[in-house]
Amino acid sequence: MQRDKQRRGVLDLLRVRDLGIVYALILLVVVLTIVSAATGRPNYLGGDNVANILDQASLVGILAVFMTVVLVSGNFDLSVGSIGALAAAISLSVIDERGVVVAVLLAIGAAAAAGLVNGLIVQVLGINAFIVTLGTMTALRGVVLILTDGRTITAESSDARTALQSIESGFWTVNVPVILGVLALLAAGAAFAAGHRGRRLAVLGGGGAILAIAGFAGDMGFRYAKPVWYMAAITLMTWAVLRFTVVGRRLYATGANMEAARLSGINVARYKVVPFVLTGAAAGVVGVLYGAKLGATNPTALNGLELTVIAAAILGGTSLFGGSGSVITSVVGALFLFTIANGFNVLNLGANYQDLIEGVVLIVAAGVYTVASRRKARAGSAPEPPEDGASTPAGPAATSTATPPARAEALHG
């Protein structure tokens, strides 16, 4: 409250630490739109192109959500690409004999089990997550090689292939304004019933009603590929759990200070292990979707995916040291990466430059976040910081700027 009244820099005012990637995406889209128009290309923001970007980003987006959960809990997961490949291989190798339902469940179950193994090794044996998941990443890729015998595998039975592909391909049209409007109305109604009153409530309810009616009357349906809707649903659900529930709060607390969380009566083992299981399961879903798209998979499927996913989370402002981050901005980070790729494509710029640009963007983003949180820490710092080690490396900036030596080695060494 009081902090709002204090003088703030531009970076703070725009909440760059929280929303930087959103501004960056808007800026990127504006630039690409103007350049497309100026060079006489079709409208960049045309429905097809947007649908395209969303479709391409969906798998990375889904994983970025759970990577964020793992990062918030104070861990790290490099094995998502290999787990995904494993799930794809499993689903395609059993689908002919056992049908699509068993294949999908088996694949996702195996993926979740792989996540559980990650989590248990990290938590019970206390080995650094970076090292553990580097190991499982390599080992599981080896399992994929064994399963596929180094060859591409496909679903032979055409029935099975069709059933599998129906999970992934095809479009759903969803009237997003109506859904959002109805959700806003419900939220406003619930708050009203709980005794809340006031202008913000009226705005929420009124806005919701207008949105719902306009969406209905204008038939504002959005037609996107199924994975896009999977991503949207998963993101919203996870966001709501993290933002609004006791579970979410405890997850952030565990990531922010595990010992304090443990001594506050939180079951930290659960909050450390479950994120790995969820991430494993999500990687399983992604692997199944990947296999379904092509009806086939090969030993190098989803290779290197983990780095794109982590890049998306970092672009979204998630701290590598736990306790902070948002799944929504991580998904926006994924969209940003795929918008760059798409921009290169649409504008016919040499694809050779793409990796260079993405790498630079990642570092610039990390730099902006670091500067923003350092400023926040400085602006808020008390005249005399705690003198007794209450917050050893001074204040909030420490999480993202002053890299704890052990972690730094693990991450960069």
Partner 1 sequence: MPSGEHSPLLLSMRGVRKVYPSGTVALSGVDLRVGAGEVVGLVGANGAGKSTLIKVLSGAVPATDGAIEWEGASQAWAVPADAQAAGVATVYQHIPLAHTLTVIENVFLGRTGWRRSSVKLERELAQLLERIGYAIDPHATVEELSIGQRQMVAILQGIAQGARLLVLDEPTASLARGEREVVFEAVRRLSKSGTAVLYVTHFLDEILDLTDRVTVLRDGRVVADDVTDDLTEDALVRSIVGRELLRVEQQEIDLPPADAPLLLEVEDLRSGDRLQGVSLRLRAGEIVGIAGLLGSGRSELLHAIFGADPDARGTVRMEGRELSRSPRAAVAAGLALVPEDRGKQALFPDFEIWRNASITDLPTLSRGRALPDSERERERARDAIRALKIKAPGPDALVGELSGGNAQKVVFAKWMYSGARVFLLDEPGSGIDIGAKADIVELVRELARSGAAVLVADSEFSELLAVSHRVLVLRRGRVVAERASGATSDHELVGLASGLEKEMQHAA
3-state DSSP assignment of residue 10: helix
Rg for the chain (alpha carbons), in Å?
23
Binder among 141, 250, 272, 374 for partner 1 (CB under 8 A): 250
Binder among 193, 350, 390, 412 for partner 1 (CB under 8 A): 390
383 lies in the binding site for partner 1 (CB under 8 A): yes
Contacting partner 1 within 280-319 (CB under 8 A): none
Contacting partner 1 within 124-163 (CB under 8 A): none
- The residue (of 48 and 388) whose beta carbon lies closer to partner 1 is 388
- Exposure on the CB side of residue 201, measured as CA atoms within 13 A: 13
211 lies in the binding site for partner 1 (CB under 8 A): no
Binder among 392, 404, 408, 411 for partner 1 (CB under 8 A): 392
249 lies in the binding site for partner 1 (CB under 8 A): yes
Binder among 253, 361, 402, 410 for partner 1 (CB under 8 A): 253
Closest to 149 in 3D by CA, of 87, 107, 89 = 89
Yes or no: say if 98 and 256 are a contact pair by the CB < 8 Å rule: no
246 lies in the binding site for partner 1 (CB under 8 A): yes
262 lies in the binding site for partner 1 (CB under 8 A): yes
C-alpha dist (Å) from residue 82 to 78, 152, 284:
9, 16, 10
259 lies in the binding site for partner 1 (CB under 8 A): yes
Closest to 65 in 3D by CA, of 207, 271, 234, 297 = 234
Residue with tokens 């993290």: 242
391 lies in the binding site for partner 1 (CB under 8 A): yes
Q: How far is the CB of 407 from partner 1 (least distance, A)?
A: 15
3-state DSSP assignment of residue 332: helix
C-alpha dist (Å) from residue 167 to 82, 161, 162, 235, 396:
21, 10, 9, 19, 44
Chain center to CA of 27: 21
Q: Give the contact letters, 319-358, x = binds to partner 1 (CB under 8 A), - = no.
A: ----xx----------------------------------
Element housing 225 (H / E): strand 222-225
- The residue (of 39 and 267) whose beta carbon lies closer to partner 1 is 267
Stretch of 199-207, 230-238, 310-318, 380-388 contacting partner 1, by CB under 8 A? 380-388
Q: How far is the CB of 109 from partner 1 (least distance, A)?
A: 27
Please state the three-class secondary structure of 128-171 as a single string: CHHHHHHHHHHHHHHHHHHHHCCCCEECCCHHHHHHHHHHHCCE
Q: How far is the CB of 375 from partner 1 (least distance, A)?
A: 9
Q: How far is the CB of 68 from partner 1 (least distance, A)?
A: 17
Query: What is the contact surface with partner 1 in residues (CB under 8 A)?
Result: 1-3, 6-7, 194, 244-247, 249-250, 252-253, 256-257, 259-267, 323-324, 378-396, 399
